[in-house]
Amino acid sequence: MEMMAMDYHLCPKFQKTFTVLGKKWNGLILDVLLEGGAQRFSQLAEKIPAVSDRVLVERLKELEVEGLVTRKSLGPDSLRMEYCLTEKGQDLRTALLALRRWSENWIELTPAEMTEG
């Protein structure tokens, strides 16, 4: 019996999802916000020490553009801001928890990787 070759096409939405979530640091930023709720920039930088401030600013802006993260002022007269997940960002909870479980089951770290971050 001959198997017919099926045309496979990548879903553009799925591709874009991996472009956003697969960009270095984005998944970790989202994970920190899912775990800890709204946080100031300094708190995020402290929890992800390997990322430079410049890159963290860039990634937060990108996540804002994608509608996953938003900034809000800590008060009417405050210049201090905190970052939090939007409803769209919160909706990633199940997927990120599944990825965390998968990594705990399948990813092995070298001794050098265990001492990083």
Domains of the chain: 18-115 (1.10.10.10)
Is residue 1 predicted with pLDDT exceeding 70?
A: no
Cα 72 from Cα 82, distance rounded (Å): 6
**pLDDT tens digits, one per residue of 28-71:** 999 999 999 999 999 999 999 999 999 999 999 999 999 999 99
**pLDDT above 90 for 5:** no
